[in-house]
Structure 1
Amino acid sequence: MEALVFILSLADCCGLIFLAVYFIITLSDLECDYINARACCSKLNKWVLPELIGHSAVSVLMLVSMHWFILLLNLPVAAWNFHRYLSVPSGNVGVFDPTEIHNRGLLKTHMKEAMIKLGFHLLCFFIYLYSMILALIND
């Protein structure tokens, strides 16, 4: 049972890593003017809710399986994702808004956030992989 929890977490984490890389590539395309702000924000806003659901699923999985350290590791990022999703100002298209992405350095902020998430998910990937191997050895 414990190995299955970490296999599912590992698969979810792989998806979140690919999503973080997609965010970085799309934001860098906007930064280099390969795409316009509307196209960039449209692409990224489609994936905000799946990212939120994916990260929340791992957190719930760790809560149910009583892996407290990993849950505490995931909670701040899950809370940040919920905060960003719920605090979108009225009138904005979504978390990524084409009219505001170039204002106040938001593009750089979004890029930093995507890089931090990529690093976090890579760290979690290796934690889940190590935990899965331990669970398979102990069974």
Structure 2
Amino acid sequence: MADLFAWLISFFLLIALLVIVTYQLMCLADLEFDYINPYDSSSRINRVVFPEFIVQGVLCLFYLVTGHWVMSLFCAPYLYYNVRLYRRREHLVDVTEIFNSLSWEKKQRLVKLFYLVFILFLSIFWMIYTSLDDDE
């Protein structure tokens, strides 16, 4: 039963990550269609970058602590990419360069979104498998 709760917690962490990345994509789409100005868009995106990094780190650490090694390995490339962005100081969106890097920023977040959806489906699969296994 504890394993099922671990999968539920990871499910909610993944949903939180999906919401954060989707919010960033919506801000970039609003900027592209000229609904908001570059300063507001970059400040909104930059406000949720650190929570995204923290939730991703907590999720990867959570998988390690609970003994879900395969899921931890699946989360490791995304965590490595976030750490690399942070160390290169490329994690925040620059107001002055946001229009030049708009397509790159959107592609980057779309790849993150699809990667998170893949991990979410794996998590749902393992959660269902665990719940069926607990009934026996």
TM-score normalised to structure 2 length = 0.91
- Give the distance between the partners of 2:70 and 2:93, measured in 1 at CA: 32
Match of 1:112 in 2: 107
1:137 to 128, 132, 136: 132
Gaps of 5+ in 1: none
Please tell me the residue identity of whatever aligns with 1:98.
V
Match of 2:93 in 1: 96
What is the Cα-based RMSD across aligned positions, in Å? 1.4
Deviation (angstroms), 1:85: 2.3
Does the residue aligned with 1:47 lie in a helix, a strand or coil? Answer: helix
- Give the distance between the partners of 1:129 and 1:65, measured in 2 at CA: 16
4+ aligned runs moved over 6 Å, structure 1: none
- Give the distance between the partners of 1:53 and 1:126, measured in 2 at CA: 21
Deviation (angstroms), 1:86: 2.9
- Listed one character per residue, the Cα deviations across residues 85-113 of structure 1 (whole Å, up to 9, x for unaligned) are 23227xxxx6111012123xx11111001
TM-score normalised to structure 1 length = 0.89
Match of 2:85 in 1: 84
| Equivalences for residues 1-139 of structure 1 within 5 A | 1-88=2-89, 95-103=92-100, 106-139=101-134
Please tell me the residue identity of whatever aligns with 1:125.
L
Deviation (angstroms), 1:54: 0.8
